[in-house]
Amino acid sequence: MSYKKIALLLLICFTTACSFAQTLDEDGEIKYIKKMYSNILTESPAHDWLHYLCKQVGGRLGGSPEYAAAVSYTTHMLDTLGCDTVWTQAVEVPYWRRGAIEKAKIINSNYVGTLDLAVTALGFSAGTGALGITGAVVEVQNFEELEALGKDKIKGKIVFYNRPMEITRLNTFHAYGAAVNQRTAGPRKAAELGAIGTIVRSMTVKQDNVPHSGVTSFKNETPIPAVGIGLQDADLLSALLKKESNVNVNIQLSCKHMGNRIAQTVIGEITGSEKPDEIILVGGHLDSWDLGEGAHDDGAGCVQAMEVLHVFKRMGIRPKHTLRCVLFANEENGLFGATEYAKQAKLKGEKHLAAIESDAGGHVPSGFRMDAAANIAKESYNQVKNWRTIFASLGLWDIQTGGSAADISRLKDQGTVLFGYRPDSQRYFDFHHSANDVFENVHKRELLLGGGAMAALVYLIDKYGVR
């Protein structure tokens, strides 16, 4: 290439960059996006949608009748809010049913006698039969301690994982990530050493006695009974083990794996006016745990994603790109819906410009986390940094790289720029996977502000691109 051609290319690049800088009218965009917020805060039905999901449908395990009801409802809502196309995408998912019996008690302790414990079955736990299982409890903090004890000291026992979420971590998602492997893999590792059951300290920092559920994976091992225990009872059990060398617990569970069933991912879209083949995805996961109502996890994310399309319709904003709302199936039990969606997108040759997922609760918005393939990550982040002043005017200060959200992560290798919506995290694990995750614990204004944050990001990406 000649020097003249190189100079001309550099001039074109410089001119394009300057043109973009002149095009971005921060004051004008702030004023317009605040109109979007005002519209959402005064006209959005998202809180009503969430009320129906929680109170009329309830907890929505993938493959359950409740999940099928949620599919029917959200399909109807996406159709009535004015999507150009609405459809569902089938995927085979494992279905586990909790059952009515969830009991545990300390047996004949020298200090407390016989005492009931607050527990709940972990997803894909084995049942116990009518009489339950009874065994001596062995407490460990981590897998290293478990392996050091070895099969001789674990066989025939009930392993008690009691590592707390670290309260010194300011971001509770980081604390959760550092502790959750004892729930997801702990029962399997205990089973490998001959344990007959497991008790896992609930993944929360709230000092109550509400047990939290969540999936546990046995892979090729025969499942054993596995329960989450409330924090107050976890502390009581731990203190008792320091006083008594032999503490026995009985666990009774009626849960059962019901085999595979078909579940549906729900999809609705508004076709783009200029670039219909380029998709901006917004979404959440429609399934939830069955203890509560799936309000924060992830009913809030689903209705926020639906609201993004609805506010574009209400305000008469014709997007350049296709806006697609995706309510993923079966995030809680293995990301089957997200995996199938990414597979189908690749087979169809679809181009997802960006994907934004809300799966961190309906609390006060704080910002977004970004992720992308290495060849586009820096360019995309630099583009979003151009909007920092706009985001700051909306109270969205926390715009960082590193992570996004579970379902949309499956699109990363297809060149999609990923955004995980991030509200304040401090209270999220008070509710997560527990009976406390109900509609009454979602603040309407905070929920709608989250919808506004997602709509603002979609609006900017649609207008200016993301790289």
Per-residue pLDDT of the chain (467 residues), as tens digits, is: 554 444 444 444 444 444 344 489 999 999 999 999 999 999 999 999 999 999 999 999 999 999 999 999 999 999 999 999 999 999 999 999 999 999 999 999 999 999 999 999 999 999 999 999 999 999 999 999 999 999 999 999 999 999 999 999 999 999 999 999 999 999 999 999 999 999 999 999 999 999 999 999 998 889 999 999 999 999 999 999 999 989 999 999 999 999 999 999 999 999 999 999 999 999 999 999 999 999 999 999 999 999 999 999 999 999 999 999 999 999 999 999 999 999 999 999 999 999 999 999 999 999 999 999 999 999 999 999 999 999 999 999 999 999 999 999 999 999 999 999 999 999 999 999 999 999 999 999 999 999 999 999 999 999 999 98
pLDDT score of 20: 41
pLDDT score of 407: 98
Beta-bridged to residue 419, according to DSSP, are 356, 370
CB of 335 closer than 8 Å to CB of 407: yes
pLDDT score of 4: 46
CATH code that applies to domain 100-254: 3.50.30.30
pLDDT score of 221: 81
Place of tokens 């059990």: 237
pLDDT score of 19: 39
The answer for residues whose C-beta is within 8 angstroms of residue 78's C-beta and 6 or more apart is 86, 266, 268, 306, 309, 325
The residues of the chain that CATH labels 3.50.30.30 are 100-254
CATH code that applies to domain 26-96+259-464: 3.40.630.10
The residues of the chain that CATH labels 3.40.630.10 are 26-96+259-464
pLDDT score of 22: 44
Place of tokens 């549906």: 264
CB of 160 closer than 8 Å to CB of 254: no
pLDDT score of 432: 98
Q: Identity (one letter) of the amino acid at 178?
A: A
pLDDT score of 14: 43
Of the candidates 312, 408, 411, 423, the one whose C-alpha atom is nearest the C-alpha of residue 363 is 423
